[in-house]
A and B are shown apart, each in its own frame.
Chain A
Amino acid sequence: MSTMAVPDIAVAPVDEGFWTRSRKVGLTLLGLGLLAAVLFGALATDQQARFTLSDDAAGAALEINGTIGAILFGIITIAAGAALLAGVPKRWFLPVLGVGLVGFVLSFLCWQVSAAPAGQNFMPLVNIIRGTFILALPLIFGALAGVLCERSGVVNVAIEGQLLMGAFSGALFGSISGSVWVGLVAAAIGGALISLLLAVFAIRYLVDQVVMGIVLNLLAIGVTGFLYERLMQTDAEKYNSAPRFSNWEIPLLKDIPVLGPALFRGNIFLYLGLLLVLVIHIGLFRTRWGLRTRSVGEHPIAADTLGVKVLRVRYRNVLLAGVVAGIGGASYTLALYSFTKNMIGGKGFIALAALIFGRWNPTGALLAALFFGFADQLATYLGAISSSIPSQFLAMLPYLATILAVAGLVGRVRAPAADGKPYIKG
């Protein structure tokens, strides 16, 4: 090489100042911890707070004195906040944040459980976990449908409609045929039909995808509502009495304490949902299909120049999304309830929030969905022990958290770059 002396080029680091995101979150956590330790500690009673490892008050339980628990867990949150404030390595940010939030929730629970009326100051963990998953299930399916669609660059606001159409088709054809499996297939097709409309209008006719999604939701509500009144209400016996999947116990796994009875004695939809999270995650990041899907969602022109058929990938993924959401809808009508008008009631939009909260990742979406499910379940539980906090207030919290998350509090949220942008060749 030559003798030329080239000084190192000084790279000016991007200076964020003292208040990095991590520190701001730490400060918030510190505040929450103080609130927990002082307020929850003061309000908690000297009763034991019992967390039973069963469906009811009986059996083994984790116990802690209410006041001590509330203060102790509050202090854990304070410690986590202080750690973030002092500065931790980047990869520890999420775990520490997690510990802090869990501490806050536990402190809150110690107060609530210990302050409950006598005879009710226990929390049945099996019950809570099972409820969390059941409530989260449509969100999991919905968010996965969102992942499939949006990773290929098509915004899916029609999740609500896909879920609803799936629930309806499942109920209708399940009832007519008397077979849960026919119902399941019909539900998948029903969801895919809504998807087909979304695909054709968004990909072929370049209609604004968000507007199209909203229109499809309204269409699904209208069509199912009309048919519900005409068919199901007039002859519920024939059209709205679908058979239901029975619960399947999974050998060995069902005997795990707490988790076994909570999760592994459930129905096919629970297993299917969890399996799909795994399959889609691996598929997206480990297979040819996933690589092409992501490339089409990020930079369709680049994919095209390498011979990837952009539109075909998008059609396929949008249809798959409909199938997944359709099955998610059937998790209502082929396992829990009979069909009622507009029975999804906005869960499709919450699934959309879970998708964003989970950063367009299948596992992230699962965690977000479980978080929403837990908040829902908690609200029900607090209602049952006649808590002093209005349940509406609690039901509000997950959405508040979503807004904060989407605003960038928990890391930069970045959608696939070509999400919502139609691809026009040439």
Chain B
Amino acid sequence: MEPGEIHALLGENGAGKSTLMNVLYGLYQPDEGEILVDGKPLKLKGPSDAIGAGIGMVHQHFMLVPVFTVTENIMLGAEQVRGGIAGFLDRRRARREVAEVSERYNLRVDPDAVIEDLPVGIQQRVEIVKALTRDVDLLILDEPTAVLTPQETEELLTVMRSLKAAGKSIVFITHKLGEVKAIADRITVIRRGKTVGTASPEASRDELAALMVGRNVRLTVDKAPATPGEPVLEVAGLVVDDDRQIRAVDGIDLTVRAGEVLGVAGVQGNGQTELIEAIMGLRPVLAGTVSLAGDRIDGWKPKKVLRAGVGYVPEDRSVDGLVKEFSVAENLVLDIYDRPPFGSGLALKPDAIAASAKERIEQFDVRTSSADTAVGTLSGGNQQKVIVARELSRPLKLFIAAQPTRGVDVGSIEFIHSQIIRERDIGTAVLVVSSELDEVIGLADRIAVMYRGRIIGIVGPDTPREEIGLLMAGISPDAAHEATAATGEGPANADGSASEDEA
């Protein structure tokens, strides 16, 4: 690393990027090897040593205490105190310091705001200010854009440029190629815990992707135009609360036709989870109706919904999709274990289960040592393939896939995407929810954008990314359209994100 350099660390999920940086930040201890700062080896016993050495980190999951104010979060661990041993907090001085730093780097934060009331983009800003008040020279940003809208991302990149101008070095960890190309001075690609190459930002997307995954991959999904048929899923006026009894879905109308993929885009936490769970019968419907091929299914138990011909890939496979301790074969029949040929009366039929498992493991390319292996020991991509295999083995009218490729390697992504399109082509209605905009654009025949529990617009898949981005930030379709038309190329404009901040 050089001073004033932005160094991108590029790699797939699970390639070891975050682990490397956690070692650098002193959270994990290295088994072997050493870290050199200014030519001298550095021993880090914990994060405080790293901070002392001028290394700061913004973690992927923010390290902020939700019930503390901005100032309290920033002063924690490096408190200014008065009164000797009693250690009274000098809040005034801390607040002044926060104001100073945010002024100097143009990172506006309200020092007295409580973290849990702030939008994610601002929370991230607080994290950066926190690192800067500790006088770091090297700032590590771990997947900083995963939770941001395209506009917030753009603003973050601006902040990174100004930090660079101030002589700070930045390590930027990501798996998003576009951002790397936009900002990095140097790119290091790692795969399976090893550095596989360095590249300059002039390298093409395809070259970088190939380095990342080790072979050439297609970034787009191959598919024929859809031939939509009768409406299969009809949602009207749906209202659902989240776990905290706060309105999450606020009057949604939605139709998915046979033979089409409807993609739901949106920043995470805008009601997508609750929408899907309500359709599946996992969450009470407070108002409105859900119909499947003409039958009202709201109020049905999940089992009944599944048996009516709905396939469901839940967004968190380890919690809702699989029983980790069970074998692959057992997980493959979780939906119909009590029906022939897998069960009769009180008994299971192990032979039938094993035979079917063998067949499906082959068909869906699940890489496992045997059908009896516990599913929890498989890689993320193979776990996901087990779920997809199970759900697509029933005759379906509707297939719902939530975050179908989260934490899944590129090879498996390709396979899962092709399975989803194959299901569409045999006439199933498909609903895909994903926080990866590229995935939604690649798969969907129509895209519904969710914002604060409402569908703010439904657009075609060839809509410009920037326009969808504005929709994701809650800017209504007409305004979004005008905005992109007016500025020509759109997203770099600061206004869209600024209004999101104030919201």
Q: Identify the A interface with B (CB < 8 A).
A: 1-9, 11-12, 14-15, 286-289, 291-292, 294-295, 298-299, 301-308, 417, 426
Report the interface size for chain B: residues with CB under 8 A from the other chain. Answer: 49
| B48, B86, B494: the one within 8 Å of A2 (CB) | B494
CA distance A294 to B88 in the complex (A): 15
Whose C-beta in chain B lies nearest to the C-beta of A292?
B76
Take A9-B500, A305-B57 as given contacts and tell me if A298 and B89 are in contact as well, using a CB distance cutoff of 8 Å. no
Name which of B9-17, B428-436, B474-482 contacts chain A: B474-482
A417 and B67 CA atoms in complex are apart in Å by 9
CB of B247 within 8 A of CB of A12, answer yes
Smallest CB-CB separation from B500: which chain A residue?
Answer: A9
Inter-subunit contact B76/A287 (CB<8 Å)? no
Bound-state CA distance A12–B68 (Å) is: 25
* Residues in chain B near residue A2, CB distance under 8 A: 487, 493-495
User: Once the chains are docked, how many angstroms separate the CA of A6 from the CA of B151?
Assistant: 13
Interface string of B412-435 (1 = CB under 8 A from A): 000000000000000000000000
Which residues of chain A have C-beta atoms less than 8 A from B452's C-beta? 11-12
Interface centre among B75, B87, B483 (most CB of A within 10 A): B87
- Assuming the contacts A9-B503, A305-B57, asked whether A14 and B246 have C-beta atoms less than 8 A apart, the reply is yes
Is the pair B475, A6 in contact by a Cβ cutoff of 8 Å?
Answer: yes
User: Is A305 within 8 A of B66, CB to CB?
Assistant: no
- Which of A4, A11, A14, A303 is the one whose CB lies under 8 Å from B77? A303
**What is the CB-to-nearest-CB distance from A256 to chain B, in angstroms, rounded to a whole number?**
30
Chain B minimum-CB-distance residue to A285:
B89
Q: Name the 3 nearest CB pairs between A and B, nearest first.
A: A306-B77, A307-B48, A302-B63
Question: A298 with B66: in contact, given A12-B453, A288-B89, A305-B57 (CB under 8 Å)?
Answer: yes
CB distance from A385 to the nearest CB of B (A): 46
Q: Which of A6, A12, A292, A306 contacts B479 (CB 8 A)?
A: A6
Query: Taking each of B57, B68, B78, which has the highest tally of chain A beta carbons within 10 Å of its own beta carbon?
Result: B68
Asked whether A307 lies within 8 Å of B487 as measured between CB atoms, the reply is no
Whose C-beta in chain A lies nearest to the C-beta of B453? A12
Name B's A-contacting residues (CB within 8 A): 25, 27-28, 46-48, 51, 57, 59, 62-68, 72-73, 75-79, 81, 86-89, 246-247, 250, 452-454, 474-476, 479, 482-483, 486-487, 493-496, 499-500, 503
| Contact yes or no, B250 A12, CB < 8 A | yes
CB-defined contacts of B86 to chain A, threshold 8 Å: 287
Cβ of B49 to closest chain A Cβ, rounded Å = 8
Known A2-B493, A12-B247, A302-B64; contact A291-B76, beta-carbon cutoff 8 A: yes
Question: Contact at A6–B495, with CB atoms within 8 Å?
Answer: yes
How far apart are B296's CB and chain A's nearest CB, in angstroms? 25
Residue of B nearest to A11 (CB): B503
* Min C-beta distance of B233 to chain A, whole Å: 24
Can you report 14 A-B residue pairs in the complex whose CB atoms are below 8 A from each other?
Answer: A1-B494, A5-B479, A6-B475, A9-B499, A11-B452, A12-B453, A291-B79, A298-B65, A298-B66, A302-B63, A302-B65, A303-B77, A417-B66, A426-B28
Most buried by A among B76, B79, B479, B496: B76
Which B residues touch A303, using CB under 8 A? 65, 76-77
What 4 new A-B contacts, CB under 8 Å, besides A7-B479, A304-B27? A5-B479, A295-B65, A295-B68, A307-B46
B27, A4: Cβ atoms under 8 Å? no
- A305 and B46 CA atoms in complex are apart in Å by 8
Which B residues are in CB contact (< 8 Å) with A306? 47-48, 51, 63, 76-78
Q: A1-B494, A1-B495 are in contact. Are A7 and B475 (CB under 8 A)?
A: yes
Chain B residue nearest in CB terms to A7: B479
Would B499 and A6 count as touching, CB distance under 8 A? Answer: yes
Q: Closest residue of chain B to A426, judged by CB?
A: B28
Shortest distance from the beta carbon of A302 to any chain B beta carbon, whole Å: 4
CB of A301 within 8 A of CB of B503, answer no
The residue in chain A whose Cβ has the minimal distance to the Cβ of B452 is A12
CA distance in complex: A298, B246 (Å) = 22
Q: Are A299 and B79 in contact (CB under 8 A)?
A: no
Determine if A291 and B66 form an interchain contact, defined as CB atoms under 8 angstroms apart.
no
Out of B51, B87, B247, B475, name the residue touching A288 (CB < 8 Å). B87
B454 partner residues in chain A, CB cutoff 8 A: 12
